[in-house]
Amino acid sequence: MCLGLLCIAGVGLVGPRPVAADPRDDARNAGRAADRAAAVLEDATAVARAAARRLELANAALPAAQHRVATANGVVVAAQAEANTARRKADTARALHQQVVSRYEQAHRRVEQARERVGRVAAASYMGAADFASLNVLVSATGPQDIMDRMGLVEQVMQKRQESVDEMAVARRAARTEQDRAGLTKRNAEDAEREAARALAKARAAQAAAVRARAAVVRLTEMRRQALAVAQSQRAAVLARYRAVRAEELRVVAALQAWERGQARAGSTAVHRGGRLLMPVRGWKSSNFGHRFDPYYRVWQLHAGMDIAAGGGTPIRAAAAGRVMRAGWNGGYGNYTCISHGRLQGRGFSTCYGHQSRIGVRTGEYVRRGEVIGRVGTTGASTGYHLHFETRLSGVPKNPAKYLPSCLC
């Protein structure tokens, strides 16, 4: 519970500026920022609290979203470059394959041509025509020299036959070589085309991720704009609530001081012996005592106590023995109990317990230290289950940390 309007610094609504964030921590940072906004605006209207929460969530998430856009844009450029390189490699590999296929086809035609020539020679040999012709050439010779000359002609014919066979063998080897090369270049071309398709798919996925990242930034920016507009529209209502809270606090101070004066007139001489108070509830500190600045409406407030978070219904115990000064509903404090513990350093010392779900004592009742006086709740101007615990001297709030165990246990 805050003590309302202490100082209005200017008139313009200012939303907290986004701060740099690690993308891995944006959800955690957003949650913490939203919790801080809820604590600061505990006394504001519900609409203002909701707007501030949306604003803080957007502010905390925006830097990470912007980082993702920048990263996505870089990935898109890299992926497009990779896809272009892969496409060029695929085109080169396919062109090389076509060249090898062309050479293989030429080699194959040479094999066919050589096969035809060898086939004709083989057919002639099979029919005996070639041997008879050679014999006839030699028989019809007119002399030794003519025989030698004719034998040379026969050798040339036989050499031509062998050359045809050799030529076909060479052509076959060349065709096989080009066929192997064609198979290799085909596999290379297919691998390159698959790589190009993969790189293109990667580029398209990166482009889609960049589009989504930019859309997220647009949504967060619009969320901030709308939240600021709603918060601005709530300014008059929130400032009125702060003034009401301040007036309410002044009434609490006056009531406690009046009760103490009544006790003095009645001759009460109770004295608080000092020492550490008992922790009033098992939980953890969720908000400190002290002045804090509302960045949405530019207002300084005093948070008059320490908030101790605990589950709904958790027992609340009297921090010290004393007399119940008041117990009942008290506006933003919700169900509120104050206990007088006597005089401390010449001033009335009391503790107060706010936002209870149920009050377990009555005004004027004497309670012992550690006695259950109520249950944790979220009544009044509260944004979650917790005990708002106060320590007061002559009704004026003081920091509870000075009176509680340092371990808060």
Q: Does 253 lie in the same domain as 366?
A: yes
Pairing between strand 306-309 and 335-344? Answer: unpaired
- Tell me the CA distances in angstroms from 43 to 48, 49, 51, 245, one per residue in order: 10, 9, 14, 7
Per the listing, tokens 């040999």 go with 125
Tokens 């007399």 map to which residue?
Answer: 323
One domain for residues 340 and 260: yes
Q: Are 80 and 204 found together in one domain?
A: yes
Residues forming beta bridges with residue 300, ordered by sequence position: 7, 293
Residue 246 pLDDT more than 90? no
Residue at 42 is within a domain? no
Distance CA 383, CA 40 (A): 10
CATH number, domain at 331?
2.70.70.10
34-81: per-residue pLDDT in tens?
A: 666 666 666 677 777 777 777 777 777 788 878 888 887 888 888 788
**Rounded CA separation 286/283 (Å):** 9
| Same-domain status, 252 and 389 | yes
In a domain, 121, yes or no: yes
DSSP-derived secondary structure letter, 338:
E
Asked if residue 388 and residue 250 are part of one domain, the reply reads yes
Do the domain assignments include residue 9?
Answer: no
Same domain, 130 and 260: no
Which two structure tokens, joined as six digits, stand for 238? 């929130």
What values do phi and psi take at 6, rounded to 5?
A: -100, -40
Shared domain check, 321 and 183: no
Which one of 184, 210, 236 terminates a domain? 210
Check residue 2 and report its DSSP letter: B
Domain count, the chain: 2
pLDDT digits (tens, 9 = 90+) for 174-206: 768 777 776 888 788 788 788 878 878 888 888
Amino acid at 268: S
Shared domain check, 188 and 287: no
The dihedral built from the CA positions of residue 57, 285, 254 and 338, taken in this order, carries a sign that is positive
Residue 153 maps to a domain? yes
Is 93 a member of any domain?
yes
Do 151 and 254 lie in one domain? The reply is: no
Q: Report percent pLDDT > 90 for the chain.
A: 29
Give the torsion through C-alpha atoms of 393, 396, 399, 405, to 10 deg.
30
Domain membership of residue 250 (yes or no) is yes
Structural domain harbouring 359 = 245-402
Q: Are 262 and 396 in contact (CB under 8 A)?
A: no
Tell whether the model's pLDDT for residue 128 goes beyond 50: no
The greatest distance separating any two alpha carbons of the chain, rounded to the nearest whole angstrom, comes to 172
Asked if residue 195 and residue 113 are part of one domain, the reply reads yes
Reply yes or no on whether the pLDDT at 4 is more than 50.
Answer: no
- Does 257 map to a domain? yes
Pick from 193, 221, 217, 196: nearest CA to 73: 217
Read off the pLDDT of residues 276-325 as tens digits, 9 standing for 90 and up.
Answer: 999 999 999 999 999 888 777 787 888 899 999 999 999 999 999 999 99
Cα separation of 323 and 16, whole Å?
45
Q: For the chain, give the percent of residues with pLDDT over 70.
A: 75
Average pLDDT over residues 128-153: 53
Do 180 and 259 fall into the same domain?
no
Looking at the fold, whether 201 and 276 belong to one and the same domain comes out as no
Residue 85 lies in a domain: yes
Per-residue model confidence as pLDDT tens digits over 77-102? 887 888 788 788 878 878 887 887 78
